[in-house]
Amino acid sequence: MSITTVATQPYSDQKPGTSGLRKKVPTFQQPNYLENFIQSIFDSLEGHQGATLVVGGDGRYYNRQAIQVILKMAAANDVGRVLVGQGGILSTPAVSCLIRKYQAFGGIVLSASHNPGGPNEDFGVKYNVSNGGPAPEGVTKAIFERSQAIDSYRILEAEDVNLDQLGAFQLGNLRVEVIDSVTDYAALMEFLFDFDQIQQFLTSGKVRICIDSLHAVTGPYAKAIFERRLNAPAGTVRNGTPLEDFGGGHPDPNLVYAHDLVETMFGDDAPDFGAASDGDGDRNMILGRHFFVTPSDSLAILVANATRVPGYRTGLAGVARSMPTSQAVDRVAEKLGIDCYETPTGWKFFGNLLDAGRATLCGEESFGTGSNHVREKDGLWAILFWLNIMAVRQQSVAEIVADHWATYGRNIYSRHDYEGIDTDRAEALIRGLQDQLGGLKGQTLRGYEVAYADDFSYTDPVDGSVSTHQGIRIGFTDGSRIVFRLSGTGTQGATLRLYLERYEADPSRHQQETQAALADLIQIADQVARIQELTGRDQPTVIT
């Protein structure tokens, strides 16, 4: 086996986005495209020589091929040891868990999260640092800059390795350990939650649950945890085998893309609890029988009930939510007397708060919830958290939510997405809003008085870094809000996200239908932003 240095030329489009470098598979398959990016990662890191890296992905098309390249390049770039998940499978939270547990130098996650997979669909490469979280902007910037100057990469000439066989072997000077994808992650879950109590609950005959892995990475994790460890009946986990194209589906756990699960949970003879995770396992959707829990409410409820589960028995240092996430959790934090941070969209903004011990639980409206146990959001963690609370309280999802609303009031909430719209038009829409910000305060729109209107900016309380232009907020005097922002994760055109929130204190009005309750705010949003006119759409692509 020998190391070769291969001459190459930069690709201009290797700038990592919100969650690493995400492109269509054919883009990654261009000559040296993946190699350039991986070499740029190694070239930008200091201290990886002799160190341990964790490598794995969500099983999508090109996962295995990419891992072979990464292992050979790690061997040629003096990495000491790589822990790789069996079959190349590791969920995003599992990578984070492994980096922390084995004090690895970092990790490479192969995933495009909730985007579809397949030969003409999406692939992605993300680098995580030693705290287990996504690389901060300084690191991704250095990787991009290096990718623009790269003229060669190093690779070990070797046979492909067998990723399916557990065990350790040498690849040149690199020690490769193919590890079970689930064991360490499952152990962490067992440490945080009362598995005995959940098991009793699930085998009591009183509840039926349904976990949908959408043919993506959480299948093996969910089967091991729910069916084997917690003794839920076989078949509890559906779509539990990771497929390279996710069965042709869109592995995003929301009301639109997880339609089979939604049909089951809203059908006759629906189970008591249903949940789904996304492609790489960091998102979650929670459903009760004929009941959808918004991610914003889910966060608030986990925070309110945190001391009922072992991992958070001693209380929370603080909580954090992304700006567009509803203010339901703020009310809980206030009652608990803990800090509540409002950050820009993107899990990376929670990293400093978690590392500094200022926040214990975090969440986003985009179906992400997590805590300081890892540095990624964590879908199965949220599902187990819910089941643990249900087991302790012996209550259904709907009962727990109704009780929460009765105590704190309801932040009625919805998100409307306009996907694949023309980028210029989307930017014009945001500019139009920016131009109006100065004049909105004090105006009354359909009976709602504007209390503030701004373009959100965030100063990180730990390192003082400032992030500007993070979304347009229009807040009203009764606590209602309308938020507009453009998605940072799409790969085609632009996606406009409109977030709507109204506070309702009166329990007799808590069971209102969400869209009807938000109708006035929806009208105001269209009036102010001229959504229909500028996007050419008369309704959103997705409503969650």
Q: Does 113 bind ligand G6P (CB under 6 A)?
A: yes
Minimum CB–partner distance for residue 204 and ligand G6P (Å): 35
227 is in the binding site of which of ligand G6P, Zn ion, none (Cβ under 5 to 8 A by kind)?
A: none
Q: Does 117 bind ligand G6P (CB under 6 A)?
A: no
The region of 69-77, 211-219, 339-347, 504-512 touching ligand G6P under the rule CB under 6 A is 339-347
298 is catalytic: no
Binding track, positions 250-289, relative to ligand G6P; x by CB under 6 A: ----------------------------------------
Q: Does 488 bind ligand G6P (CB under 6 A)?
A: yes
The region of 24-32, 105-113, 178-186, 461-469 touching Zn ion under the rule CB under 5 A is 105-113
CB-wise, 462 or 505, nearer to ligand G6P? 462
CB-wise, 214 or 301, nearer to Zn ion? 214
Structure tokens at 434: 């920016």
Which residues neighbour 61 within 8 Å (Cβ) at sequence distance 6 or greater? 25, 117, 118, 119, 121, 123, 244, 245
Contact present, 174 and 20 (Cβ < 8 Å): no
| Annotated catalytic residue within 44, 113, 181, 277 | 113
Instruction: Specify which residues 52 forms β-bridges with.
Output: 81
Minimum CB–partner distance for residue 54 and Zn ion (Å): 17
**How many chain residues bind Zn ion (CB under 5 A)?**
4
Minimum CB–partner distance for residue 25 and ligand G6P (Å): 20
Minimum CB–partner distance for residue 497 and ligand G6P (Å): 6
CB-wise, 61 or 503, nearer to Zn ion? 61
Q: Using CA atoms, how far apart are residues 91 and 85, in angstroms rounded to an integer?
A: 9
376 is in the binding site of which of Zn ion, ligand G6P, none (Cβ under 5 to 8 A by kind)?
A: none
Q: Which residue is nearest to ligand G6P (CB)?
A: 487
352 is in the binding site of which of Zn ion, ligand G6P, none (Cβ under 5 to 8 A by kind)?
A: none
40 is in the binding site of which of Zn ion, ligand G6P, none (Cβ under 5 to 8 A by kind)?
A: none
**Subset of residues 348 to 377 that bind ligand G6P, contact rule: CB under 6 A:** 364, 366, 368
From 63, 91, 113, 414, residue interacting with Zn ion (rule: CB under 5 A): 113
Instruction: Specify which residues 528 forms β-bridges with.
Output: none
Q: Is 175 helix (H, G, I), strand (E, B) or coil?
A: strand
Q: Does 376 bind Zn ion (CB under 5 A)?
A: no
HSE-up of residue 200 (Cα within 13 Å, Cβ side): 8
Distances (CA, A) of 500 to 326, 338, 412, 544: 8, 25, 8, 11
What number of residues does the chain have?
A: 544
- Burial class from Cβ neighbours inside 10 Å (0-12, 13-18, 19+) for residue 413 reads buried
Secondary-structure percent of the chain, ordered helix, strand, coil, rounded to 5 = 35, 25, 35
Distances (CA, A) of 355 to 281, 336, 349, 382: 22, 21, 11, 20
Which residues neighbour 268 within 8 Å (Cβ) at sequence distance 6 or greater? none
Minimum CB–partner distance for residue 535 and Zn ion (Å): 26
First vs last C-alpha separation in the chain: 53
**Subset of residues 266 to 305 that bind Zn ion, contact rule: CB under 5 A:** 278, 280, 282
541 is in the binding site of which of ligand G6P, Zn ion, none (Cβ under 5 to 8 A by kind)?
A: none
Q: Using CA atoms, how far apart are residues 230 and 252, in angstroms rounded to an integer?
A: 25
The region of 355-363, 420-428, 481-489, 504-512 touching ligand G6P under the rule CB under 6 A is 481-489
Which residues neighbour 20 within 8 Å (Cβ) at sequence distance 6 or greater? 109, 111, 124, 125, 126, 127, 134, 140
The region of 151-159, 198-206, 437-445, 487-495 touching ligand G6P under the rule CB under 6 A is 487-495
Q: Using CA atoms, how far apart are residues 250 and 113, in angstroms rounded to an integer?
A: 10
The region of 160-168, 185-193, 343-351, 438-446 touching ligand G6P under the rule CB under 6 A is 343-351
280 is in the binding site of which of Zn ion, ligand G6P, none (Cβ under 5 to 8 A by kind)?
A: Zn ion
DSSP string, 7-20: E----TT---BTTB
Q: Does 298 bind ligand G6P (CB under 6 A)?
A: no
The region of 138-146, 328-336, 471-479, 482-490 touching ligand G6P under the rule CB under 6 A is 482-490
Minimum CB–partner distance for residue 396 and ligand G6P (Å): 28
Structure tokens at 247: 């069965």
Task: Look at strands 339-343 and 318-322 and give their pairing.
Answer: parallel
Q: Using CA atoms, how far apart are residues 74 and 99, in angstroms rounded to an integer?
A: 16
Residues that bind Zn ion in the complex, under the rule CB under 5 A: 113, 278, 280, 282
Report the catalytic residues: 113
Residues that bind ligand G6P in the complex, under the rule CB under 6 A: 18-19, 113, 322, 345-347, 364, 366, 368, 487-489, 497
